[in-house]
Structure 1
Amino acid sequence: MIVSMKKVSLVVLNRYKEKSLNSLRKLGLVHLETLEGSSEELSRVRALYDRLSTAKTSIHDLKLPKNYKSTGKKSAVVENLDRDAILSAYEEKGKISEGLKKALLQAEEILALQEAKKEIGEDIQLARKELDRLAAWGGVNPQDFAYLEEKGIGLTMYEIPSAALKKIPDETSILQVNADKNATRFLLLQFAGEEKAELPPEAFKIALGEESTQSLEKELAEKNKALLLIQNDLYEALQYLPNLSEEMQNLSKTIEFENIYAAMPQDEGLDAVETAVLQSENRALTWITGFIPTEDIEALRNFAQKEKIALIITEPKEEDEVPTKLKNNKVVSLIYPVTDFLGTVPGYREYDISGWFLLFFSIFFGMIFGDGGYGILLVLTGLGLILHSKIKGKKIEPMIILVALLGLSTVVWGTLTCTWFGLEVSQIPAWLVNLSWEPISNANPNEELLKQNIKIFCFALALVQLSIAHLKGVFANIKSLKFLGELGSLILLWGVFYVVLNIVVDKERFAFDAVLFGGYEAMPIVLSAIGIGFAMSFIFSNYEGNILGSIMASVKDIISVLLGVVNVFSDIVSYIRLWAVALAGSAIAATINTMAGPALGSALMFLGILLLIFGHGLNMVLNVLSVLVHGVRLNTLEFTGHLGMSWSGHSYEPFSE
């Protein structure tokens, strides 16, 4: 159920604001309204958090190489890091704890290493690019060229397509360095005072670098060595991650506190003089607003009396963003790992469907997995994890019990349908075949009837779940004529259900001229249900105290109202995905058995067993993905859509240490 909440406001003297906030945080019961504060201290703490976060993120995905061993040598970056100066700079802005000091030094070390790694990497890239550019020329030293220039001998490097070499005039002095089929490299020789030599346009001048190739090679070797030491230091820095995470968590709590502290209002409506007078007399007031479970109100009253805080308790208004706190028994709470993973939280004024979610999710899971053999593996996995937790003296996590429950659901469905590891019915022991339910069992000799029965089961499941949604709506609005709108939607749903059976399952088996109840044919019953249901829904669905207003609201939204009838049809048909997805998984399992079968009776038995393990394991993973896509969808879209839910809530998160 969704726990009832009260809106509370706590008023204190401004001079006791910090003390009161600390006490409120220790109490840990009040979910505070969203506040956005601004102060120098808040900015300072956020900057510290961001610094740690940046450092942590920069090495978070770094993985230690296999057989990594520390060299024991530190890079110049680590050795030259001025730790005293770093701490002094931080301490000038405010107090920091010893644990935070350590984390900040670790963060600065990481960031300095990353910056140095980036700079050295760029230097290495430039050096390699320059060496690659001059690679075909052998060793090149700009100083040699400069020395000859001083002696009146000018040498310039050129490259020309080999086919164009003959275009160079005979009187032009060149020294050929080397050539290949594409290009020829040569030095143009000119003495001081000579006119500039003419070269064909195909000749391309090669610019001298600032350093010799020998110097670049030496620099490259040194840079690579430095980069290796930096990389080793980053590997060593991975041990800082736990401490960084811990201090970030502490800072996040401080940020929360400082944000609230800075955002708390003071004596609104007073002018500057009145505010100054109150502050000078230590009579200025401040307050904070939030929400608390009704069951904890007495604890808050006692707290307020002890701390001398004025307390105002009211019922939440319609426009208030009230947090949602769910409270269920241990069985229903098993679904929480799934809803937490999905991040779905019902609004405070919506329904808590945890129990229904667990029930139908278990059914959907069993149908989609569809194989009793897979179910046994899941049950054994769950029981094994439970036993392991018991032996270790650890708490048994709800997720572990949920795995066992879902496995049990799969075993039940696999038993009813006679589906075991994708085996043919002829390969399954007779006693297992006898446990199956013939209408939906693979042992049913009439394949066409089997398909129809499974479709009917899927659609009947849709009818039950969606009917529950509208019945909840009926009872929720029983004190208003709006309940007639929900009742109309329920009647419409049942009428459309027969139409689905006629169109999708079998026109003859569910013919419109078939006799149903009291000698009446299906057609008038179905049309009456659809017509009456639509009319009731049209008239009362938007009822807010005025029938005419409700009708006009439906008229204004007539297109959506008409499409709603089509949506009822598509929502029911949507449940056929349970059979279709299971059918695909069953086909994959059978294919794996077919592929591995020949190998099991030969020398390749080991490969056949590996294929079975890998293939069925992969199929189970695909089934899990199918459950997340299809099984979850039917609960969070089709079912909740008929409930009118939008999952607009946010979790109850009390201000606490």
Structure 2
Amino acid sequence: MIEKMKAVCIAAQSSHKDELLTDLRDLGILHIAEKSAADPRFLEEFSALFRVMQELKEYKAKEEEGVLSEEEFDRLYADTSAALAKKAELREKLTGLLLEEERLAPWGNFDPQEVKELSDTVPLRFYLMDKKELSALSQKEGIRYIRLRPVGKSEAVAVVGHPEKPLRAFEFPLPQKGLAQVQREAAECRKGLEECESTLKEAAGHLESFRQRLLKVQNAAEYSSADASLGRDSGIVWVTGFIPQTETEKFSAAAQSHGWAWMIDDADENDADVPTKIRYNKVTALIRPLFAILGTVPGYKEYDISFWFLAFFALFFAMIIGDAGYGALFLIGTIILNVRMKKLTNVTLLLYLLSATTIVWGALTGTWFGLEGAMKVPFLKALVIPGFANYPEYFDVSSTAAQNNVMKFCFSIGVIQLALACVMNIRRKICGKDLGWIADVGWLLSICALYFMVLFLVIGESVNLAAVACAIGAGFLLVVLFGGMSPDKSFAQGLKAGLGNAFTAFLNTISAFGNVMSYIRLFAVGMASLAIAQSFNGMAAGFGGPLVIVGIAIMVIGHALNIVMGFLSVVVHGVRLNLLEFSGQLGMEWSGIAYEPFREIKKEK
């Protein structure tokens, strides 16, 4: 559930500003409104520290037992930063030297300075060409040249003087350094890189010290941001923000204890600055990792749909992946991850749930790595629902009937989810004494009628079209008449607003038809995944005898690719149905601000 918030304003004398900020940070419940940016110096220091820390994580070293002192860390950080800068410089220089060495090696070891001194008396220019061009060169009058040792597959010549016309050949520019000097400098670079690596490997043993400094800088940045957010006037400083309603007593006690002047009131639901704090239970907490990845936060006055999101997402995931064999692999991988982590987390619990639902759906449809032979196993065959079978010939069911059943199931899921959104809106508006709930009844009526329209158009199911049309028309009429109602409007004002949006309501009704149709993607993507698995199985079956290893490799690569594509489909389709179709029917925009109280950071973010 989304916790109720209280808006607060706290004031103190300017001379007690630092005490105010420190006490608020220790209290750790105030979300500062209109937070200002932190001092750029801290942000730059944080970025530099983070970059160095990421570089050091590449080195395997034992962690230190204790944390370095401030002075010791400053010296270590300076040495590490210098080593990283020198390492980058030496790498760039070594790359250039190696390219130069590769260019010079075919010409052998010579002193460029000696060649330049000779050229002062006898101008020389060096060229690379093929034998055909060399033969043509020998026939040109007025050109004198010296044939040198071949360089690779090309002929090398030294032309005396300056040709009047450009030669059809690649001119070799004289280097600044000879091959021997280039090789010496490359060796020096390698030695310098080894010294840098040694310094960095030693520094990698102090990652905990880097983490502690990083936390210190983060806290300093947060403090500077809070400081910049204070209002100031006539010797008074103040800060406004929000606290959870459940923390009101704790806040009041702290305010009285520290002698603050303060004011508290209910947060305005229409205030865009009110943060959202979601209280998860043991079940809904499973969806938190996905919300964290998506970065989605509902608005303060919107719904907490964590439970419904989790339930439908698990079902969508199972139907899109669609293979019990893949689900078994996910389950094995989750068990291994759980053993390594040595504890249950929301991530592993979510993976267990998704693995289980995938296995169940795959078993019900008879899909095990896309293998038709799985249906020859009595136990696996007994798990299948004949009407949903991907191999219906084993159950005396036509393929058309089985596909129609699955499509109807997809549309049924869609209408249930969209109808649920309507019911949630009706309930909230009735509790809020908002007459607009009648418009949501209209949407509920229209969506249910559109469901039957979809069944008629897609799978040819017999329906009473007249009744469907009447239901859609009645629903549209209710939406137009009551869609503009709200508690702050009179009936006449709401009616006028609804009639003014009649064309928009018409377009939204068409969109609702598309929303119901959209759930066919669960069937389409699941069938595509099955077809890909079957294709790779068929390709692998063609390799027998000594080539069986090739067949196994094709199966492994093919199924791995199919799983990856399945994950992408879950993001594109499974998440979409929750974030767009379902949330859109609820009127959610996911434009909320996450509740982030001003407090000391004790864990690296």
* Structure 1 position 483 matched with structure 2 position 437: yes
In the TM superposition, what whole-angstrom CA distance separates every residue of 1:418-441 from its partner, at most 9, and x where no partner exists?
Answer: 334434377344454344333323
Whether contact under 8 Å (1:465, 1:639) holds in the other structure is: yes
Query: Mean Cα displacement is larger for which, 204-213 or 115-124?
Result: 204-213
Q: Provide structure 1 residue ranges, at least 5 long, that are not aligned to the other structure.
A: 69-96, 189-197, 268-274, 276-283, 512-521
> Would the alpha carbon gap of residues 231 and 186 (structure 1) be closer, same or farther in structure 2, given more than 3 Å must change?
farther
Q: Would you say the 8 A contact 1:178–1:186 is kept in 2? A: no
| Aligned position for 2:17 | 17
Q: Is the 8 A contact 1:380 1:404 kept in 2?
A: no
Aligned pairs for 1:500-539 (under 5 A) are: 500-506=454-460, 509-511=461-463, 522-539=464-481
Report which of the two structures shows the higher radius of gyration computed on alpha carbons: 1
CA gap of 1:395–1:27, structure 2 versus 1, over 3 A, is farther
Mark the CA change 1:167 to 1:310 in structure 2 (over 3 Å): closer, same or farther.
same
Cα distance in structure 1, aligned partners of 2:589 and 2:201: 46
CA contact (8 A) 1:7 1:291 kept: yes
Matches within 5 A, 1:388-407: 388=339, 395-407=343-355
User: Which one-letter code corresponds to 2:525 in the other structure?
Assistant: V
* The one of 212, 216, 240 aligned to 1:289: 240
Q: Are the aligned partners of 1:361 and 1:635 in contact in 2 as well (CA < 8 Å)?
A: yes
1:348 to 278, 295, 300: 300
TM-superposed CA distance for 1:577, in Å, is 1.3
Q: Deviations over 1:356-403 (max 9, x none)?
A: 1122122222222333444455456556766x48xx9x5421222222
- Specify every segment of 5 or more residues in structure 2 that has no aligned partner in the other structure, as ranges: 62-66, 128-132, 601-605
* Cα distance in 1, alignment partners of residues 322 and 174 from structure 2: 73
Take 1:215 and 1:415, find their aligned partners in 2: how far apart are those partners? 70
> What is the Cα deviation at residue 493 of structure 1?
0.9
Question: 2:498 matched to 1:498?
Answer: no
Q: How big is the shift at 1:253? A: 1.1
Distance in 1 between the 2:137 and 2:329 partners?
A: 76
Q: Deviations over 1:199-253 (max 9, x none)?
A: 5344799876555554444334333433444345445544454432332122101
1:36–1:263 CA contact under 8 A, matched in 2: yes
Matched with 2:273 is 321
CA displacement at 1:484 relative to structure 2: 1.7
How far residue 451 of structure 1 moved from its aligned partner, in angstroms, is 1.2
SS of structure 1 residue aligned to 2:254: helix
Are 2:81 and 1:111 equivalent residues in the alignment? yes
**Cα deviation, residue 313, structure 1:** 0.5
Is residue 258 of structure 1 aligned with residue 255 of structure 2? no
Q: What does residue 635 of structure 1 align with?
A: 578
2:529 to 581, 585, 592: 585
> Which residue number corresponds to residue 540 of structure 1?
482
- On the 8 A contact 1:12/1:286 being kept in 2, the answer is yes
What pairs with 1:245-644 in structure 2 (closer than 5 Å)? 245-267=211-233, 275=234, 284-317=235-268, 318-379=270-331, 388=339, 395-424=343-372, 427-441=375-389, 442=392, 443-478=395-430, 479-506=433-460, 509-511=461-463, 522-544=464-486, 545-546=489-490, 549-550=493-494, 553=497, 560-595=504-539, 616=559, 618-644=561-587
Q: Which residue of 2 aligns with 1:200?
A: 164
Distance 1:619 1:554, change over 3 A: same
**What is the deviation of 1:324?**
1.0
Alignment CA distance shift 1:554-1:120 (3 Å):
same
SS at 1:422's partner residue?
A: coil
Distance 1:480 1:381, change over 3 A: same
SS in 1 for 2:9: strand
SS of equivalent residue, structure 1 residue 346: coil
| Corresponding residue pairs, total | 575
Q: Give the secondary structure class of the aligned counterpart of 2:231.
A: coil
Q: String of CA shifts for 1:435-492, please: whole Å, max 9, x gaps.
A: 4333323435222111111111111111110001011111222212211221111111
Specify whether residues 613 and 288 from structure 1 end up closer, same or farther in structure 2 by C-alpha distance, changes over 3 A only.
same
Q: Tell me which residue corresponds to 1:154.
A: 121
1:55 maps onto 2:39 in alignment:
no
Q: Alignment partner of 1:449: what SS?
A: helix
Supply the distance in 1 between the matched residues of 2:573 and 2:590 (Cα, whole angstroms): 18
Aligned-partner SS, 2:232: coil
Q: Once superposed, what is the RMSD of the aligned Cα atoms?
A: 3.6
Aligned mates of 1:410, 1:205 — CA distance in 2: 66
Greater shift, 157-166 or 352-361, is seen at: 157-166
Question: AA paired with 1:535?
Answer: L
CA contact (8 A) 1:157 1:205 kept: no
Distance 1:21 1:179, change over 3 A: same
- Paired with 1:639 and 1:206, the residues of 2 have a C-alpha distance of 69
- Match of 1:650, SS state, is coil
Residues 128-139 of structure 1 mapped to structure 2, 5 A cutoff: 138-139=108-109
Partner of 1:191: none
C-alpha spacing 1:157/1:302, structure 2 compared with 1 (3 Å)? same
**1:623 CA drift (Å):** 3.0
Question: 1:155-194 alignment to 2 at 5 Å?
Answer: 155-159=122-126, 162=134, 163-164=136-137, 169=142, 176=146, 178=148, 184-187=157-160
Decide whether aligned partners of structure 1 residues 490 and 179 sit closer, same or farther in structure 2, where only a CA change above 3 A counts: same
Q: In the aligned structure 2, how far is the partner of 1:420 from the partner of 1:587? A: 13
Aligned-residue identity in percent: 32
Q: Tell me if structure 2 keeps the 8 A contact 1:156–1:205.
A: no
> Does the aligned pair in 1 maintain the 2:94–2:186 contact within 8 Å?
yes
Q: How far did 1:643 drift?
A: 0.6
> Normalized against structure 2, the TM-score is what?
0.83
CA distance in 2, matches of 1:431, 1:137: 74
Q: Judging changes above 3 Å, is the alpha-carbon distance between structure 1 residues 253 and 182 closer, same or farther for their aligned structure 2 residues?
A: same
Moved more, 363-372 or 15-24: 363-372
Provide the rounded CA distance (Å) in 1 between the counterparts of 2:349 and 2:88: 49
Alignment partners' CA distance in 2, 1:438 and 1:604: 37
* Contact 1:379-1:405 at 8 Å conserved across structures: no
The alignment partner of 1:477 has SS state of helix
Task: Tell me: CA distance 1:145–1:575, structure 2 relative to 1, closer, same or farther (3 Å).
Answer: closer
C-alpha distance in 2, partners of 1:128/1:603? 44
In structure 2, the CA distance between the partners of 1:182 and 1:488, relative to structure 1 (3 Å rule), is same
Equivalent pair of 2:110/2:178 in contact (CA under 8 Å): yes
